[in-house]
Amino acid sequence: MTSLAQRLRSGDKIVTAWSGLAVPIVTELLARGGYEAVTLDMQHGQHDMASVREGLVSLTLAGAHRIVRVPVGDNAMASRALDVGAEAVIAPMINSRADAEAFAAAMKYPPVGARSWGPHRAAMLAGQTPPDYLAGANDSLLSFAMIETPEAIAALEDILSVPGIDGVFVGPSDLSLTLSHGAGLDPGGERTQSAAADIARRTLAAGKLAGIYCLEPEKVGEAVAMGYSLMAFGNDMSLIMDAAGGAVKSTRV
């Protein structure tokens, strides 16, 4: 299976489901339903280390790419997510070069970073020997810094210049909240979308990857037009509720 890193760097556009339910079979069903990638959310979702560990196995069985979003500032968890098989980690609220450096250090082995050795489960899932895993890890495992604040936008070039940061991931809800100084949520508004376009342009200029959360299906195509290659759309709770609601409506006479 071609890695997520190889696909994104070759120009593929990938849509990832968003998993908040800590139920491995639900995670697997998202992949078997057609998603090429699934992101397990430890920040706002219900996932913990146990459900991430089992969820990554389920995604491996289903042949989907494996992404984890860790809690704010939890760089130790970023390393642990890699150790149990994540192909990419998204770190929220990366607002400065220092934030990016700390995240990258947890994601990459020396000489790029300071990740500690212990990826036994990840190597097993990949069918690799420890030397083979080590040889490819820094290049094939992706670190995405979330850009969600005016401070992060102002520091974007500094963040992108950090060795070991492979790309950025835009959270439009938090971005709209911080841009408005807490006045309200407007992820699809002109100000937020203009900022998202600017972030993509500057990220691509730096030779890095750009990802974004999309709240409506049409936003996926708009994101691709901006230059994004990893788009999150569809969370498990909403997908289940929408499917259940549609099924109930279809039976009404």
Q: Residues 102-111: pLDDT tens digits?
A: 999 999 999 9
Q: Please give the average per-residue pLDDT across 94-118, as a whole number.
A: 99
Q: Please give the average per-residue pLDDT across 220-236, as a whole number.
A: 99
Q: Model confidence at 252, in pLDDT bands (50, 70, 90)?
A: confident
Q: What is the pLDDT of residue 67?
A: 99
Place of tokens 């500057």: 202
Residue 229 has pLDDT above 90, yes or no: yes
- Note the helical H segments in 64-149: 75-83, 97-107, 120-126, 130-140
Q: What is the pLDDT of residue 203?
A: 99
Q: Please give the average per-residue pLDDT across 174-198, as a whole number.
A: 97
- DSSP 3-state of 216: coil
Q: Which residue spans within the chain are E strands per DSSP? A: 14-19, 37-41, 65-69, 88-91, 142-147, 167-170, 209-213, 230-235
Q: What is the pLDDT of residue 225?
A: 99
Question: pLDDT (tens digit, 9 = 90+) per residue, 205-220?
Answer: 999 999 999 999 999 9
Q: What percent of the chain has pLDDT over 90?
A: 99
* Mean pLDDT for all residues in the chain: 98
Q: What is the pLDDT of residue 55?
A: 98
213: β partners: 232
Residue 146 has pLDDT above 80, yes or no: yes
CA distances from 171 to 153, 177, 196 (A): 12, 10, 9
Nearest-angstrom CA–CA distance, 155 and 147: 10
Q: Model confidence at 190, in pLDDT bands (50, 70, 90)?
A: very high
Q: Please give the average per-residue pLDDT across 93-118, as a whole number.
A: 99
Place of tokens 């913990």: 48
Catalytic site residue from 44, 65, 120, 181 = 44
Domains and CATH numbers, the chain: 4-143+212-251 (3.20.20.60)
Q: Please give the average per-residue pLDDT across 4-20, as a whole number.
A: 99
Question: pLDDT (tens digit, 9 = 90+) per residue, 58-79?
Answer: 999 999 999 999 999 999 999 9
Q: What percent of the chain has pLDDT over 70?
A: 100
Q: What is the pLDDT of residue 1?
A: 80
Query: pTM here?
Result: 0.97
Q: Please give the average per-residue pLDDT across 90-115, as a whole number.
A: 99
181 carries an active-site annotation = no
